[in-house]
């Protein structure tokens, strides 16, 4: 299984049968310097944690170009349909959707979800989520989305035993690095941790240093991948 990090919270996962994008904020992402069309060619599935612009990103364009299936919470999937996405699949917290060689379970997150329309109104887009991906041939991955720490993370570990954790650390809009480290150390047995959601907006912490410092003693689990370069897990 190959994983490519595009910066912010955006990833591509290649399983052999599927090419999955998670929160594909790519073309307007200041950390991504490559060709957004080339990077997303062949996408078969898009999985969204919530409806904010820096997570929905290029979803509509990619879905129309590739005919990828898009999995999102019910309100967000309906909104995407109104934007012309033909393969938007609804789900909701606690539910699981199964595809060719992987499944996605939506779990809770403590955040919000909405989109600012061109006329300035805000469209509510349902509850935010984290997503747990189980693969036929690969380690289970938990993308927390945007969230604060919460005690029921212990249940996510009990139910799913994720080995890869994608963890927001940028503060202001999510938990900060020190709290994110508590979440990882107290609730999970991750083998690989990727800190995200920093440096792309002025109000966020500009680097993940607080997280690295707070993970002292377990820093060998933390990976800071090169943006745009795939790595194997």
Q: Which two tokens stand for residue 134?
A: 């189980």
Cβ atoms of 27 and 21 within 8 Å: the answer is: no
Angstrom distances, CA of residue 232 to CA of 42, 82, 86:
19, 37, 32
- Its sign, for the CA torsion 88, 26, 13, 155, is negative
Q: Residue 169 pLDDT > 90, yes or no?
A: yes
Chain segment 26-70, per-residue pLDDT in tens? 999 999 999 999 999 999 999 999 999 999 999 999 999 999 999
Distance CA 41, CA 65 (A): 9
The DSSP bridge pattern shows strands 96-98 and 164-168 to be: unpaired
DSSP-based three-state secondary structure for 154: helix
Residue with tokens 């035993």: 161
Describe the strand order of the beta sheet including 88-91 as a list of residue ranges: 88-91, 69-73, 45-47, 19-22, 10-14, 2-7, 230-232
CATH code of the domain in which 147 resides: 3.60.15.10
Range of 135's domain?
A: 2-232
Please choose, from the candidates 36, 62, 35, 37, the residue with its C-alpha nearest in 3D space to the C-alpha of residue 48: 62
DSSP H stretches of helix in the chain = 36-40, 53-56, 59-66, 74-82, 153-160, 177-187, 209-214
Chain segment 120-153, per-residue pLDDT in tens? 999 999 999 999 999 999 999 999 999 999 999 9
The separation between the first and the last C-alpha atoms of the chain, rounded to the nearest angstrom, is 6
Chain segment 201-211, per-residue pLDDT in tens? 999 999 999 99
Q: Find the farthest-apart pair of alpha carbons in the chain and give their distance in angstroms, rounded.
A: 50
In terms of residues, how long is the chain?
Answer: 233
pTM of the model: 0.98
pLDDT at 78: 98
* Total number of domains in the chain: 1
Mean pLDDT of 150-174: 98
């Amino acid at each position: 299984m190959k994983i490519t990090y595009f910066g912010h919270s955006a990833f591509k996962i290649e399983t052999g049968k599927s090419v999955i994008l998670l929160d594909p904020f790519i073309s307007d992402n200041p950390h991504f310097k490559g060709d957004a069309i080339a990077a997303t060619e062949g996408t078969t599935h898009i999985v969204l944690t919530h409806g904010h612009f820096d997570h929905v990103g290029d979803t509509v364009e990619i879905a129309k170009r590739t005919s990828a299936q898009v999995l999102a919470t019910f309100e967000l999937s309906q909104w995407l349909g109104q934007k012309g996405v033909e393969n938007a699949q609804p789900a909701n917290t606690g539910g699981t959707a199964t595809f060719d060689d992987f499944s996605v379970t939506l779990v809770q997150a403590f955040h919000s979800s909405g989109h600012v329309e061109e006329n300035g109104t805000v469209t509510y887009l349902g509850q935010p989520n984290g997503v747990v991906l189980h693969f036929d041939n690969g380690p289970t991955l938990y993308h927390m989305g945007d969230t604060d720490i919460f005690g029921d993370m212990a249940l996510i570990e009990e139910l799913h035993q994720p080995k890869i954790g994608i963890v927001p650390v940028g503060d202001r809009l999510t938990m900060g690095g020190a709290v994110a480290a508590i979440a990882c150390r107290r609730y999970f047995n991750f083998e690989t941790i990727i800190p995200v959601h920093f440096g792309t907006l002025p109000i966020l912490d500009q680097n993940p240093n607080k997280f690295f410092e707070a993970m002292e003693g377990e820093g060998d689990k933390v990976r800071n991948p090169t943006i745009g370069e795939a790595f194997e897990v």
